Copies of this chain bind each other. A is one copy, B any other.
Amino acid sequence: MTALPCDRCVGRSLNLCRPLDGARLQVMLALGGIHRWKKHESLFRADAPMGPFFKIRSGIVAVSRTLDDGRRQIVAVRAPGDCVGYLENDGKYAFDGDALTDVEACAFDRRGFDAFAAKHPDLAAAVAEALSAALKQSGQDMLVLGQLRSTERVAHFLAEIDTLYRQRAVSSRPLSLKMSRTEIADYLGLTLETVSRAIGKLKVRDVIGLMGSDEVVVLDNNKLRRIAKVEHDGRPSATTIN
């Protein structure tokens, strides 16, 4: 068997690759090919006519939505193994998808995939599992956006990114955020200045250490997670969809 578009997918539990074997795989492969984007390029735009969705092979993707006046909310950060660009609204993408780093991803035709999934119950179950995981995550994030103070949010973000990247083998220690202060702010519903101050506060309290502005060392994991309030069970999450 040759190298597969998805053979790099990690994640110990279920993901959209496992159910693919033998002949079925061939069909899937026919549906989409590998594409590449550079940092800050767009994978897809909200309200643009629906095209394929993508399964990330490497790199990080931000899923977001922006108001007319420029206010932007990053709704999810996706890592290798995750799917993005799956959600649609009346034949259009429901969100923006932006490469936070250089990205490689498999493109899949939405209709073709759905039709294929309809014939393969385990694949359909994998999709449902992925969607459930994403929905659960969204609920957590709403708690963060609605209830946590700025420093709590940033602490939560760091714990979350730490868990996410570790699971997906994105980067080793020290943790590399891959996001500017502005991007973190857009994810947490804060301003870049507030994010900067909150990070400073965590540094002063010896919860974390900084190497440059992108590399973070978690000095006191317990304290970090206590500040973050919301549990981050390091449980492996299924392939996630957006």
Q: Please give the residue numbers on chain A whose beta carbons come within 8 Å of chain B beta carbons, in ascending order.
A: 63, 65, 67-68, 71-73, 75-76, 86-87, 89-90, 94-95, 114, 117-119, 121-122, 124-125, 127-128, 131-132, 134-136, 138-143, 145-147, 188-189, 229-230, 233, 235, 241-242
Contact = CB atoms under 8 A, between A and B. Distances in A.
Contacts of A127: 128
A135 B136 contact: no
A131 B114 CA distance: 14
Contacts of A134: 135
Nearest to A229: B67
Contacts of A147: 67, 71-73, 189
Given A118-B125, A125-B118, A128-B124, A87 B143 contact: no
Contacts of A135: 87, 131, 134-135, 138, 241-242
A67 B231 CA distance: 10
Across the A-B interface, give the 5 residue pairs with the lowest CB-CB distance, nearest first: A146-B189, A138-B138, A131-B131, A145-B145, A124-B124
A54 B220 CA distance: 41
A141 B142 contact: yes
A136 B90 CA distance: 12
Given A63-B139, A128-B131, 17 more contacts: A72-B147, A73-B142, A73-B146, A73-B147, A75-B142, A75-B143, A87-B132, A87-B136, A94-B139, A118-B125, A121-B121, A127-B128, A128-B128, A131-B135, A134-B135, A145-B145, A145-B146
A97 to B, nearest CB: 12
Contacts of A128: 117, 124, 127-128, 131
Contacts of A146: 73, 145, 188-189
24 contacts: A67-B147, A67-B229, A67-B230, A75-B138, A75-B139, A86-B132, A89-B233, A114-B125, A117-B125, A118-B122, A118-B125, A119-B121, A121-B124, A124-B124, A124-B125, A124-B128, A127-B128, A131-B132, A131-B135, A132-B241, A134-B135, A135-B242, A142-B142, A145-B146
Given A73-B147, A119-B121, A124-B128, A136 B233 contact: no
